[in-house]
Structure 1
Amino acid sequence: MNALKPAINVMVVEDRPNSAAGIFDKGEKFSRRELYAALFEQEYCGHVLKYTLVNSIEKFHKHRMDKFDVVISDVALDEGGFAANDFGLLQAVGAMRARFPIFLISGKWDEVVQNTELREVLRKQEIIKLWSLPELFKAHKAGHLDQYRHDIFQAGKPRQYGDQPSIFSNNFPTKGDDETINLLHISDTQFCPEMENKHLFDYRALAMSIKEELNGQKVDLVILSGDVVERGLPSEYELAKKHLFKFINLLTEGDWTLPSKRLIVVPGNHDLNMALANSRRIGIDSSKKLRLNTKEILKEASDIERFNQYAFDPFWQFAKEITGSSESPNELQRRLWNQDFAYLGLLFLTLNTSKTIGGDGWYVPNVLETDIENAADEFTKLARHGKEFGLWDVKDLIKIGILHHPISHAGTEPSKNPKEQITNSELFKDQINNGVLGLNFVCCGHVHKKWASSFDLADNPKNLLQLCSSTLLLKPNKRPEDSFRGCNLISLKRKEKRLESLLNIPFEIGRGQPHVDTKNVMRFQWKKDREYWDKDAEYIHE
């Protein structure tokens, strides 16, 4: 007799395990607990399907979540709405699904079928299956539960076999509470057809250099902080996808592949498609008339909003495709906080700093006040939902800002070019200092050189760490003097789920092989009790 293969472990979240409501006709004597017992603790394809019943938030917290392969959660539709018409539960499910496949089960799925809004919310949360309790009970009576066991087996087996990454492992890394998280920060790729027939850079050599530095660890997430392409053209984004797919595959060796949510991307000023925006609005294609017509026509706030929607449409379509998101391009550009990795202790604030149109009809690097206000509102809701459903405490989350333009100039002397940093940096820093945003550090690009530093926030002992990545591709005449191409590897060390230190390793791509710029490797210590970076540890070179 062959030995059984590893068990597939299932968590069943059910607050009424002894209830018979919703699963059978009157006169039947069969509880939900008995139904789950019949479904599980059975062998299927050589695996035992084991389950743990959880009927309270307190019990939910007592379990190590990395021990489970699948979660099945009961939801109530009994009183005319889903979770009392508050979709907070779905947001909680959306956060949990980062760890494992989620199945939802209910006694009233007929109401879901008729509820368009609810179906759309469920789709966005990427629920794997919607199970009906009455149908499940009928299948049990008929002896046909194997179809349900097959669903669980298919969802849970990728973690057992280590095959090609499932939708979950491909999008969401698995990490222990105190393991290091590695972020690769790249910027200003500015892909365009002119580069296609030239040597862009040696993907293989750069990937090997990064992997050698990681010494067996993996790149968990990639941050791309804007200026993905040169002119915002759809053809350029196709080129970007081609080369980014190739690079990520070499870097991860199949551990995860694009499209994936592990790539987090924001737009830069080169990602604006000004010609497309103007031609859609006033029927012109001539770039010679571009600035004049933009200046004349953008007189109302609603005009600027529509203009930005057109100008960034190719970028957000690219973002949807490269990340595999189920959200529409319009939904993607409205979302400011990325909570997909809150289960790892990471929360990303993604900002578009190229949306403001100035008096010359061209962009102004800026963080819109409305975006700051909306981000504060979103953060308050995230904090409430995290506490309500026991998912996280925002005090333990590492909050990372991603924007294209630096908050302050990347140098010792003030810049003479006002477009080298956001123009309302003091307002933004005030929100970080006194508002609810409270970022731990920011990743940016735009100036085409590597740079890492912290700066004070007003009279508060807090300070903000700003990490700027160089460009991967641009020629010397488009980079500051003595600036090489390159990228940053950011390693976050955690202890008890909280940030302890950050190691910033800059890579350079010169005439020879890519290598670490050892003179600029920096470790920053985070003082948790006072919430600021220890400046004495700022320039520790390794």
Structure 2
Amino acid sequence: MKIGILHLTDAHFSSDKDFVYNKTSKIVAAVKYIYEDCDKIYITFSGDIANMGKTEEYEIAKCFLNSIRSLFKRFYLDKVFPQIIISPGNHDCDFALDNQSRRILLTNPSYTVLGDDGSIINTALSVQKPYFEFVKKLNDQDIDANLFSCINDTVGEHHIQFLSLNTAWMSQIKEQPGTLFFPVRIVEGKLNKNTDICISIFHHHPAWMTPNTIENNRTEFIDFVNEHSDFVLVGHEHQQRSELNGLIGTETVKYFCGEALGEVNKQTSGFQSFIIDIDSRNGVFQSYSWNNNDDLYEKRKEFDFELKKLYSRLQEFHVRPEFIKSIEAIEIPLGEKQNEIKISDLFVYPDLEKRAT
């Protein structure tokens, strides 16, 4: 059995005069025939739907996405998954709703600062209120402001999951790489791991996560995403690229960063498409970019790729964080920052040379 995925990202909608706004039929025309053998089709959007997170911008986005969904349903009827699967980006925050309390708590993010009652997270999520109202209306579903959502579906006997992560929950104006924090511990215990295929979707590449916490949140985030995902859809970079991402000693996972669907004051646009064979765990990737001369989206790249081996994601045995922490601990006294320094911070790998035998 096969599934098809349309991946859109970074539209930055501000008005119905935006370059991409009237191109819904062009997008669908570019890919409508490639999904003919698919048993289910999903529409996804990895953030920066709006430009400044305003309600009126989301109304524009809602019209656009409803049009995409309606056109797909005209061709594929019930094969089209009813929900559009979305994760928010930094442009989806309305910073007019920001306040001093939120700005202060974001200066030094950590699990200690967050606590365990959810109040800090709720304060940080306040700038995304218009975004969550938009998602409710778009998908006609009751959804609370949160750090993540799991969208589950069944195709034949296969369980499909989209894991949408809210990496923009602590975004700020003019944010810098290495400053974001995603509380993996809070999310991890709430996930359903018994799926045949799990596709993660979020806005910020892991490089935007901070390494400057005791746990190294960037490493922690990559570990978390790669453990649960078969492949990953990312936004924010505005350029199409794919990469294998993983840490030494762990299995790598394919990350796909999408071209911006729309950029302010630019007549450029792109998106990407996937066809996944669930049984063989192989996929086909295609990217499309706007061709002004021919007035259409043309295919720019196509290649095959493999999903992560199913057993590696569903295996029962995982090294516990407590054990990793114990073997990383330094026994010799190093002063007041003793608890912040790990063996891996100090270890110097030997310089090896290959010699002829």
TM-score (norm 1): 0.48
- Counterpart for residue 202 of structure 2: 403
Equivalent position of 1:347 in the other structure:
161
CA separation of 1:256/1:274 partners in 2, compared to 1, >3 Å: closer, same or farther? Answer: farther
Determine the structure 2 residue equivalent to 1:271.
92
**Are the structure 2 counterparts of residues 298 and 201 from structure 1 closer, same or farther at C-alpha, using a change threshold of 3 Å?**
same
CA distance in structure 2 between the partners assigned to 1:485 and 1:317 by the alignment? 26
Classify 1:221/1:432 alpha carbon distance in 2 versus 1 (closer, same or farther; 3 Å): closer
Structure 1: gaps spanning 5 or more residues: 1-178, 279-291, 384-393, 409-420, 479-483, 533-542
Aligned ranges 1:46-195 → 2 under 5 Å: 179-193=1-15, 195=16
Equivalent residue of 2:4, what SS? strand
| Structure-2 residue corresponding to 1:336 | 149
- CA change 1:362–1:208 in 2 (3 A) is closer
- The Cα shift of 1:516 comes to 1.0
**CA spacing shift, 1:494–1:362, aligned 2, 3 Å:** closer
Measured in 1, the distance between the counterparts of 2:269 and 2:164 equals: 24
Q: Per the alignment, do residues 297 and 334 of structure 1 end up closer, same or farther by CA in structure 2, a change over 3 Å counting?
A: closer
Give the letter for the 1:470 counterpart.
E
Equivalent residue number for residue 137 of structure 2: 321
Structure with greater contact order relative to length (CA < 8 Å, sep ≥ 6): 2
CA–CA distance in 1 between the matches of 2:167 and 2:147?
13
The one of 127, 136, 156 aligned to 1:311: 127
**1:374-389 to 2 correspondences below 5 Å:** 374-379=186-191, 382-383=192-193
Residues 225 and 297 of structure 1: CA distance in aligned 2, closer, same or farther (over 3 Å): closer
Structure showing the higher helix proportion among its residues: 1
- Residues 261 and 324 in structure 1, CA contact (< 8 A), matched pair in contact too: no
CA distance in 2, matches of 1:303, 1:531: 36
Q: How does 1:473-512 map to 2 (within 5 A)?
A: 473-474=262-263, 485-495=269-279, 500-511=281-292, 512=294
Q: Which residue identity does 2:241 align to in structure 1?
A: W
CA distance in 2, matches of 1:293, 1:334: 19
Deviations 1:153-173 (A, max 9, x none): xxxxxxxxxxxxxxxxxxxxx
Q: 2:234 aligns with which of 444, 459, 472?
A: 444
Equivalent of 2:255 in 463, 466, 472: 466
Q: Number of residues paired by the alignment?
A: 294
AA at the equivalent of 1:184: L
Matched, 1:422 2:209: yes
Show the counterpart of 2:347: none
Paired residue type of 1:346 = I
Q: Give the alignment of 1:163-312 within 5 angstroms.
A: 179-193=1-15, 195-196=16-17, 200-215=21-36, 217=38, 220-253=41-74, 255-256=76-77, 261-278=82-99, 295=103, 301=114, 304-312=120-128
TM-aligned CA distance change 1:345 to 1:240, over 3 Å: same
Deviation of the 1:373 alpha carbon: 1.6
1:302-352 superposed Cα distances (whole Å, 9 cap, x missing partner): 775343332111101111111121x2434xx25533334586421222111
What displacement does 1:488 show? Answer: 1.0
Letter in 2 for 1:515: E
Query: Distance in 1 between the 2:39 and 2:25 partners?
Result: 16
- Does the CA-based 8 Å contact 2:230-2:308 persist in structure 1? no
Alpha-carbon distance, 1:523 to partner: 0.8
**1:429 CA displacement:** 1.9
Q: Equivalent residue for 2:302?
A: 521
- Give 1:298 shift: 6.5
Shift of 1:509: 1.1
Q: Give the letter for the 2:239 counterpart.
A: K
Report % sequence identity. Answer: 20
The amino acid across from 2:223 in the alignment is: D
* Alpha-carbon separation, structure 1, partners of 2:105 and 2:147: 24
Q: Aligned AA for 1:492?
A: I
What's the CA shift for 1:469? 1.2
Is the 8 Å Cα contact of residues 182 and 209 (structure 2) preserved in structure 1?
A: no
Q: State the secondary structure of the residue aligned to 1:213.
A: coil
Q: Any conservation in 1 of the 2:246–2:252 contact (CA below 8 Å)?
A: yes
**Aligned partners of 2:231 and 2:307 also within 8 Å:** no
Opposite residue 459 of structure 1, the aligned amino acid is G
How far the C-alpha of 1:432 sits from its partner, in A, is 4.5
Contact 1:218 1:252 survives alignment (8 Å): no
* TM-score under structure 2 length normalisation: 0.71
1:167-188 Cα distance to aligned partner (Å, 9 max, x none):
xxxxxxxxxxxx1100111001
Change (3 A) 1:216 1:525: closer
Q: Verify the 8 A CA contact 1:457 1:464 in the aligned structure 2.
A: no
Q: What SS is found at the alignment partner of 1:185?
A: strand
Counterpart CA distance in 2 for 1:212 and 1:366 is: 40
- 3-state secondary structure, aligned to 2:97: helix
